[in-house]
Structure 1
Amino acid sequence: MSGRNDRSVLVSVLLAAILVVAALAWLGFQRVGGTPDTAAETSDEVAVEGAPLEVAGSASVPPADPTNLTYQRVADPNRTIAKDAAGRTVAVFTDGARSVRLSGPVRRFAEPKFTTATVTTDAWIRLAPQEWKAGEEKAAWYKPWITAALADKAPDALAVAMQYVQGAPEQKDAKGVRFAGDADFGPFSETDPDGRAENSDFFDYLGIQYQFSDGGRSQPQADRNGDLDCSGFVRIVYGYRLGYPVRSQNTAGAGLPRRAFAMSQFGPGVAIAADKGTQVRDFNRMQNGDLVFFNLDPSDGTQADHSGIYLGVDDAGHHRFLSSRSKANGPTFGDFGGPAILDGGGHFATKFRTVRRL
C-alpha cells in the first residue's frame, strides 16, 4: 500500500506543478495583450528587470570637481556645456529647459523579453530647479545644485522610466502606495483596435487622488489601477517621480498637460525638432531624456497622438525610445508591435514628428 500511496503523492505533485506552470504562462500571455512573446529569451544581463546594469570599470573615472568647471556656450540649440579640468563634458544645460544631461557611470539598459537591443550610455538626466538661461552658472542656486547632482546616486529619469517595464519589481512608499513596478497600458477594450483602452493617467496607476498645479483634482478609476497610457507614462516619470509640475487639462501654462498633442504643441520646455508634418531625421540635436512625439493615426488629424522618452543609441546604432503602448500592454523600448526606434522606415520611425526637452 505504501508504494501506491507514494505514487499517488507523486502524481499529485506533478499535477500541481503543471497547474503552476500553466498559470504563470497565462499571466505572461496577459501582459502582452494575449500574444506570446516573440523577442529574445531572457538573459542574465540584468539581475532585476528594468534595472540598468553599471558597466564594469566606468565608476573608476574620478567624479568631476564642481568647484573647478569651465563653461562654454554653443548654439543649435542654445546651451551651456560644463567641462572639468581634463576637458570632459560634465553637464549640458539647454536654454529654456530644466532637464540636464549629466555625465556619470556608464550604464547598460536592457529589456531582453522584447528585444535583443541594449542601450549603453553615460547620460544621467536630472531636473534643475528652474529653466536654464545664459549665465545661470553664476546664480546662487547653481553651485549647491550641481554639487548635489553630480554626487546623486538615486535613479534618474532614464532609470525611473525603466521601473515600469514588464517584470520591473513593485515598490511602495511609506503609505503603502505602489509608485513603481510593471505597468499595464489599460484595461481590455472591445472597441479599441489594439484591444486595450487608453486614458490611464499616473494617478490611475497609483490609485490616489491628486491635486494638480493648475487647481484640478483627480479621481482614480479602480479598473485602471496599475495602468499607464503613453502620456500617463511620461507624466509619472517626469511629474510624479521627478517633481515636474503636471496639469489636469490640455491647456498651456506651467506644467505638463495631459495629452501627447498638448505636450508637443504648447507644453513646457523647448522644441528641439519642430513638427513639420514629416518624419524627423536629424538626431544631432537630441539628447537622452528628450520627449518624442508621433502621429500614429493620420486619419484623425496632423497632431501628435503618441509620446515617449528618448533612451539613446542602441548597440546597433539605432535611436531607441521608451513608451507605453497598447499592443505591448505597457512601457517598453522593445520591438513588440513595431521596433521602438526613431530612425529608418519602421512603424514608429516613419511617424516620428517632433521633439521637446523639458
Structure 2
Amino acid sequence: MSAPQYRPSRRTALIALAGVAAGGALPMAAASAAAAQTPTTATTVPSAGVSGAAAPAGPGTRLPMLVDPTDAWHFAPHPAGALTTRTVPGGLEVSDDRGVLATLTTGARTVTLRGPKRWFTEQKKAVRDAFDRVPPGGGWGMSPGGGTWSHHNGVAADYFVESGRAAITLAAGKSRYSLLPDKAIGDLHAAARFSFDRLPAGAPVSLALVFSARDVNNHYRARLIVTPAGEVQLVLEKELADTPVTLSAPVTVGTGFAAYDHWWVRVDRTGDLLRARAWKHVTGGEEPDLWHHSVHDPEKDPSKVFRTGAVGVRGLASTGATVTPQARIYDVVLDSATWTDPPLVTHDTWVRVLPEPFDGTWTPAVEQRIRAWAGDTSPDVLAYASMYRPFAPAVTDPARQGARVLGEAGYSKADPTTGLRKVGADFHEYMGLDWDFPASGEHAVADPDFKGHLDCSGFVRMVYGHHMGIPMVLYRQFDGRTLPRESKDLAASGPGVKIADGGVGQAPPLDGLRIGDVVFFDTDEDSDAGGHIGIHMGTDQHGGLRFVSSRKTPNGPTLADVGGKSILNGAPRTETSSGDLYTHALRVIRRF
C-alpha cells in the first residue's frame, strides 16, 4: 500500500507563509566581502526595538542573526579619535578613544573588531519523518532533523521499520513508547498518521501522539482509541508520575474502523493552551479546522505542568485484549516548534580576514584597513556562518548560473535504504557547481546529491574560503596558507596559528580562545583532531562557549544542542558520566 499524501491545514499553511515572509522580507546578509567571487550586495537584518541582552520578540526571532538599527554605534564616527597600539602576547591590540577596537594575531589573517551589537540565535526546524528507511541497527533509526528515536518498554524487537512505516508490536496491558531526544520543545504544532492491521478483540487498542514529555511517566498525549466494535475515539490525557489523568473526556470521531484505515492526530500547544483533533485520512482530502479538545492543564503546582519536553508516540493494548493488532505509524510531523530557551549569543565582536597573515608590524597599510573595517557592517565570518543555519533566507547569484549561494543548508541527503547521512558535501557542491582550485591546480566535480548541503569541513571552507577569501585546495599542497578539504588536515596543516593543542586524548585550555577561532574535535577513530570542525561564535546566555558546525543529527549547520551540546565548556567526562560530547572531544584551537 502506498503512503497517502499529507495535506496541511490552513493554519499550517499560514505558519509556512509567515516563515517565508520573515525570512524573505528581511534577508540577513547577502553581500560578500571577498570581492572576486561574490553575489550581489544586500543588507544585514534590522530588528526594531532590540535592546539589552534578550532576543527580540516576534517572528524575527527565528532568523539566525539580528542587528539593532537603533544601536548608538550606527550614529557615531568610526574609529573614534586617534588610534593607539599595544603589543600583547601573540599579537597587537589597537584602540581608539572608546577602548579596544581591534586585535591582530601574528601569523594569522583573522582579526576581531568592535562593531554594532548582534544577536545570534536558533530555533527548531520543522521535522517530518516518513520512515522511508530500514535502520541497520534496528529500531526506528534516525529521524530527519530530529535525532535518533529511543524506545521504552518491551524488547528491542517490538520496534521496527518496514515498507515505509514504523511499527510497534503490542501486548495486552503493556504500553510502548518511542521518543525523539529533543526535550527542549515548548510550543508546537505537530501531527502523526496512525493505523492498525486489524480490529482488536476483547479490549481497545490505541496510538497516541506524545508531547511535552519529560519522560514516559510525565507528558501530555492525544490518544486515538480503536474499540473492538470499530469505534474511533480521541482523548486528551496527561501522564503524571506514571498515573494517567484525563484532561478532556473521550470524543467519538469515527465509526466502522477497518484494518489499515489511516487516521491523523494533530496536537497544538500555544503557551498553556493544549488542543487536539483527529480525522480519517482520505487521499486528496484536507485537514479539518475543528478542535475536538481545547483545554488548559488545571494543575496548580507549576512543577507538575509540562512546559517543555520531547515528542513521540505511545502504543497500548488495553488489559483484556485477546487480539492485539500491530500498531503502525506512517508519519510524524512537526510543522512548527519552538525551544523555550534557545541558544542566544550576544556581543559586539566582528571577525574579518586580512589578505595576508599579520607579521606583527603596524604599517600604514594595516592601519588603513583597520580604519576602513571600523565602520564596516558588510557580512563578516559570523554573518556568513549564520547564513547557512535554520531559517536563513536563500540568496542566488546570477553570476554563478543562478546558483543558490546562501541559505539554510542540510548536511547531506539521507541514504534511501538506511536513513543515515554520509560525509562529502563541500562548499561548491552546496551550489551545485564544479570547481577549479588555482592554488593547487586541482579540479572537483560536484556530486548532484550534495546540492544544498555542507559537511563540517565544507561549511568552514564555505565561510573562510569561498566568502572570506582564504585560498583552498583539495588533497595537494598543504602549505600552511591554504584550506585543505578534510578537517584532520585543516587541524594539522591549516593556515594561521594553533592557539591551543590538547594532545592525544586531552581537551586543550580555553584561555586563548577568541570569537572566530576554528575548533577541532576527536570524533574520528583515524585522527585525534580530525573528526569534526566548527567556528567559535561567543558566549551564550548561560555562559556556554558556543560554536557553530554542520552535523549529521540536526542535518546541517547549527549552534544548538540537538545531537550534542554545541558548547566547549560543558560537563567533562568522568568515571560516572559521559559528559558533554564536544567539551571532552575538543583537541585543537586554530586561528586562521
Q: TM-score, normalised by structure 2?
A: 0.51
Partners of 1:344 and 1:148 lie apart in 2 by 38
1:304, 1:353 within 8 Å by CA — same for their partners in 2? Answer: no
Q: 2:442 is paired with a residue of what secondary structure?
A: coil
Q: Which has the higher strand share?
A: 2
Partners of 1:342 and 1:286 lie apart in 2 by 10
1:183-211 C-alpha deviation (Å, 9 max, x unpaired): 0001213688x811111100100111222
Aligned pair 1:84/2:96, yes or no?
A: yes
Partners of 2:560 and 2:75 lie apart in 1 by 31
Aligned to 1:300: 526
Partners of 1:58 and 1:293 lie apart in 2 by 37
Summarize the Cα distance change of 1:291–1:344 in structure 2 as closer, same or farther, 3 Å threshold.
same
Q: 1:217 is paired with a residue of what secondary structure?
A: strand
What code does the residue aligned with 1:50 have? Answer: P
Aligned to 1:44: 58
Which deviates more from structure 2 when the two are superposed, residues 335-344 or residues 301-310? 301-310
What code does the residue aligned with 2:422 have? Answer: A
Aligned pair 1:211/2:211, yes or no?
A: no
Summarize the Cα distance change of 1:191–1:344 in structure 2 as closer, same or farther, 3 Å threshold.
farther
Aligned pair 1:177/2:403, yes or no?
A: yes
RMSD after superposition = 2.7
1:63, 1:150 within 8 Å by CA — same for their partners in 2? Answer: no
1:286-332 C-alpha deviation (Å, 9 max, x unpaired): 111100000113x3342421000000111101100000000010000
Q: 2:60 is paired with a residue of what secondary structure?
A: coil
Partners of 1:68 and 1:163 lie apart in 2 by 35
Equivalent residue for 1:18, pick from 2, 9, 25: 9
Partners of 1:54 and 1:216 lie apart in 2 by 43
1:264, 1:304 within 8 Å by CA — same for their partners in 2? Answer: yes
What code does the residue aligned with 1:354 have? Answer: V
Equivalent residue for 1:290, pick from 503, 513, 517: 517
What code does the residue aligned with 2:445 have? Answer: Q
What code does the residue aligned with 1:73 have? Answer: T
Q: Which has the higher helix share?
A: 1
Partners of 2:396 and 2:65 lie apart in 1 by 16
Q: How does 1:30-41 map to 2 (within 5 A)?
A: none
Aligned pair 1:202/2:409, yes or no?
A: no
Q: Hey, which bits of structure 1, 4+ residues long, moved more than 4 A?
A: none
Partners of 1:251 and 1:187 lie apart in 2 by 30
Partners of 2:416 and 2:588 lie apart in 1 by 31
Q: 1:146 is paired with a residue of what secondary structure?
A: helix
Partners of 1:303 and 1:243 lie apart in 2 by 24
In structure 2, list runs of 5 or more residues that go unmatched.
1-5, 20-55, 125-338, 572-579
Aligned to 2:462: 236
Max Rg structure: 2
Summarize the Cα distance change of 1:17–1:262 in structure 2 as closer, same or farther, 3 Å threshold.
closer
Summarize the Cα distance change of 1:67–1:18 in structure 2 as closer, same or farther, 3 Å threshold.
closer
The number of aligned residues is 322
Q: 1:231 is paired with a residue of what secondary structure?
A: helix
Q: How does 1:58-77 map to 2 (within 5 A)?
A: 58-59=72-73, 62-65=76-79, 68-75=82-89
Summarize the Cα distance change of 1:55–1:69 in structure 2 as closer, same or farther, 3 Å threshold.
same
Q: How big is the shift at 1:44?
A: 2.6
Equivalent residue for 2:543, pick from 308, 311, 317: 317
Aligned to 2:186: none
Aligned to 2:110: 99
Partners of 1:267 and 1:246 lie apart in 2 by 10
Q: TM-score, normalised by structure 1?
A: 0.83
Summarize the Cα distance change of 1:275–1:318 in structure 2 as closer, same or farther, 3 Å threshold.
same
Summarize the Cα distance change of 1:296–1:207 in structure 2 as closer, same or farther, 3 Å threshold.
same
2:461, 2:483 within 8 Å by CA — same for their partners in 1? Answer: yes
1:230-281 C-alpha deviation (Å, 9 max, x unpaired): 0000000011111111112165123100010000011110000114124435
Equivalent residue for 1:326, pick from 552, 557, 572: 552
Summarize the Cα distance change of 1:228–1:71 in structure 2 as closer, same or farther, 3 Å threshold.
same
